[in-house]
Amino acid sequence: MSRHDHPDRDPADRHVAEDFSSDEKASAERATAWPRRNHAGRIVTYRHLLEAVVVLLVTGVVAVVIVDAVSTWVGFGDLGQTSGWLGGVMAFWLFVEEFRAWKGTQSRWPLGLAAGVVALAVGAAVGGVLSFLPPLASGAIGVAVFAFAYAPLWFFGIRRLSAREG
């Protein structure tokens, strides 16, 4: 099996994790930490980034639904009126940590800003189109669209720009 044929590696991620030393590769393959990160704290594969985004979005939205239901039960509002965008807080934090891991890369600021603006515009547009739904539902869908728009822009963009810098 060549170094590019690892069963956990998506073919689209073939050249994105090449900054591991051989000891770090072996350590990362044995590690139970998830999502897998390299020595700089960067998520290794796009698949792991997407998995983390899905888990964090689902967890966040479920937490918001529970808080919304409890607040409705105690009389602090109507069911579904809490903003579903709050369900994206943990996924947003994942992106912040990924941004921080690229410290020293000059293009991280313009890329992060551009990707954030594009992803936010797309997520807000989808949330706006779905404004006939309760805020919990339209916001949850909007934040999911934001996260899944931002993830590839950031993941592949920062690697391409970093390769040009270095």
Rounded to an integer, what distance in angstroms lies between the CA atom of residue 109 and that of residue 114? 8
CA dist 17 and 159 (Å) reads 10
Q: Residues 31-55: pLDDT tens digits?
A: 447 889 999 999 999 999 999 999 9
Res 25: pLDDT: 55
pLDDT at site 50: 97
The answer to whether 140 and 61 have CB atoms below 8 angstroms apart is: yes
What's the pTM?
A: 0.80
What is the secondary structure of 94-149 as a DSSP string? HHHHHHHHTTT-TTHHHHHHHHHHHHHHHHHHHHHHTTTS-HHHHHHHHHHHHHHH
Q: What's the pLDDT at 16? A: 53
pLDDT band of 1, cuts 50, 70, 90: very low
Mean pLDDT for 25-35 is 59
Domain spans of the chain, in order of start: 46-165
Task: Give the residue, 19 or 67, on which the prediction is more confident.
Answer: 67
pLDDT of residue 166: 74
The residue ranking higher by pLDDT, 4 or 74, is: 74
Task: Let me know if 163 is exposed, middle or buried by CB neighbors in 10 A (0-12, 13-18, 19+).
Answer: exposed
Instruction: Give the 3-state secondary structure of residue 64.
Output: helix
What pLDDT does 33 receive? 75
What average pLDDT score do residues 103-128 get?
97
Q: In this structure, what token pair is assigned to residue 50? A: 């997407």
Residue 22: pLDDT band (50, 70, 90) is low
C-alpha to C-alpha distance for 159 and 48, rounded to whole angstroms: 15
Which residue type is seen at 114? A
pLDDT in tens, 80-98: 999 999 999 999 999 999 9
**68, pLDDT greater than 90:** yes
CA dist 71 and 55 (Å) reads 24
